[in-house]
Amino acid sequence: MTDKKSFEINGSHVNFQNQNHVAAVISDSDIIPSKAENVAVSETLCNCGSKAPEANCGSGGLDKAEKHISEQKNQETTEKYSTLYDNCRLCPFCCQVNRNAGIKGRCGAPSEIRVSNIQKHEWEEPCLSGQGLKTPVKGSGTVFFTHCPLGCVFCQNRQISRRSTSLGREMSADVLASEFLRLQQSGVHNINLVTPTHFVPGIIEALLIAKSKGLTVPVVYNSSGYESEETLQLLSGLIDIYLPDYKYFSSHLSELYSVVPDYQEKCEAALKVMQKQTGKPLFDENGIMKRGTIVRHLVLPGCDYDSLKVVSRLHLLFGKEGIVLSLMSQYTPTGNLPFPELNEKLPYSAYLRVVASAQKYKFRYLYTQSEESAAESFIPVFI
Binding site for ligand SF4 (CB under 6 A): 88-91, 93-95, 97, 105-107, 109, 149, 198
SS3 at position 197: helix
Q: Which residue has the CB atom at the shortest distance from ligand SF4?
A: 105
Question: Is the Cβ of residue 233 or residue 370 nearer to ligand SF4 in the bound state?
Answer: 233
Q: Rounded to an integer, what distance in angstroms lies between the CA atom of residue 255 and that of residue 65? A: 55
Q: Rounded to an integer, what distance in angstroms lies between the CA atom of residue 317 and that of residue 311? A: 10
Half-sphere exposure of 382 (CA within 13 A, CB side): 24
Question: Is the Cβ of residue 15 or residue 96 nearer to ligand SF4 in the bound state?
Answer: 96
Question: Is the Cβ of residue 45 or residue 97 nearer to ligand SF4 in the bound state?
Answer: 97
Question: Is the Cβ of residue 100 or residue 236 nearer to ligand SF4 in the bound state?
Answer: 100
CB of 23 to ligand SF4, least distance (A): 34
Question: Is the Cβ of residue 147 or residue 296 nearer to ligand SF4 in the bound state?
Answer: 147
| 302-325 as b/e: b if 16+ CB within 10 A | bbbebbbebbebbbeebeeebbbb
**For residue 314, which of 252, 362, 253 has the smallest C-alpha distance?**
362
CB of 85 to ligand SF4, least distance (A): 8
CB of 108 to ligand SF4, least distance (A): 7
SS3 at position 358: helix
CB of 302 to ligand SF4, least distance (A): 28
Question: Is the Cβ of residue 17 or residue 87 nearer to ligand SF4 in the bound state?
Answer: 87
DSSP assignment of 112-175 equals: S-EEEEEEEES-S-HHHH-TTSSS----EEEEEES--SS--TT-TTHHHHSTT---SEE--HHH
What are φ and ψ of residue 258, in 5° steps?
-130, 0
Residues forming beta bridges with residue 327, ordered by sequence position: 297
